[in-house]
Structure 1
């Protein structure tokens, strides 16, 4: 489940694979500061955590 959610997050990146501060699912748009360092720190941290865990599928 966590990998699937992570993949959904990756799909939200823009054409140069960056994330903004917020995402509005109603309009399918990134909002706020761009690019947002805190979003990318979370992205990298999650990728590292998932890489350390064995795949359940």
Structure 2
């Protein structure tokens, strides 16, 4: 498998997580807190994917 799919998943989830967090901060109402909470798993997914890509590149 090429690295295109994992890189796309990592960058896409990071962008979606940051976008949801920024939008949630601007709203800061009921939907805002939901967006901030939604951004945490997305950022965790991108962090784990990037870590896996970096560890795979060194071995």
Per the TM superposition, whether the score is higher than 0.5 is no
What range is the shorter-chain TM-score in? 0.3 to 0.5
- Give the alignment's TM-score, normalised by structure 1: 0.45
Q: Which protein, 1 or 2, shows the higher relative CO under an 8 Å CA cutoff with sep ≥ 6?
A: 2
Q: Which has the higher helix share?
A: 2
Specify which structure has the higher proportion of strand.
1
* TM-score normalised by the chain length of structure 2: 0.44
